[in-house]
Amino acid sequence: MRLRAEREAVVAHARRMAADGLAVGTSGNLSTRAGDLVAITPTGVPYDVLTAEDVVVVDLDGTPVEGRLRPSSEVPMHTAVYRGTDAGAVVHTHPVHATALSTLLDELPPIHYMVVLLGGPVRVAPYAPYGTEELARLGVEGLAGRSAVLLANHGATTYGDDLAQAYERGVLLEWLCRLYAQARALGEPRLLDAEQLERARVAFGGYGQGGGSAGGGSAGGGSANAGGAWGSR
């Protein structure tokens, strides 16, 4: 079986999505790249019964290479991210707070300094039908200089060097969206300015066991190592 380790990693992370509030039912999808091949979740298969054999291998054009099932309907989005960035893995989710804010905002503002771990305030890409090349293009445009994007009236996409990093960025994005939504329910939140964000970015460069502490730590159950799963790109 091709890409056995990558397919097993896809299964392991897919099984966490519902418990982590990132997906409902069979919604959402994730993938990881190995050279010119991509291991991606199949369409319509419940994650709790997903096996490595169910995960589909496609090439960077989205053509199936190996697998007994049809790949995710969002293959165009995943392959577009791989072609347009240095992503090693892509996670597409439908979390409640991120999706709700995607219907209200043009950009998730800097409510917390940890937004720098996604590259800065997260853009909302214009709406396009799911599974289309148009959605893929708009999503990649929204990712410019970022490792996360909200998709209007749809959900969110994050990427990283590997599945662990891409997935934890998805967790972080939903935490930031939940934080902003709760703050707005109480009033008008204070936002960080460009200088404050830059100071946080510099501080995170030395955060973790390899350097000085930037403060904070994990959010929403994610990794506390800024140079790891939530490391800035």
Catalytic residue positions, numbered: 74
d(CA 166, CA 148): 9
Could you tell me which residues come within 8 angstroms of residue 191 by beta carbon, excluding any fewer than 6 positions away? 109, 110, 111
54 burial type by CB count under 10 A (0-12 exposed, 13-18 middle, 19+ buried):
middle
Distance (Å) of CA 78 to CA 60, 113, 131, 158: 9, 28, 10, 10
Could you tell me which residues come within 8 angstroms of residue 135 by beta carbon, excluding any fewer than 6 positions away? 76, 77, 125, 128, 129, 151, 154
Structure token pair of residue 106? 């043009």
CB-based contact 90:161 (threshold 8 Å): no
Structure token pair of residue 41? 């979740």
d(CA 20, CA 171): 8
For residue 78, give the nearest of 9, 18, 130, 154 by alpha carbon: 130
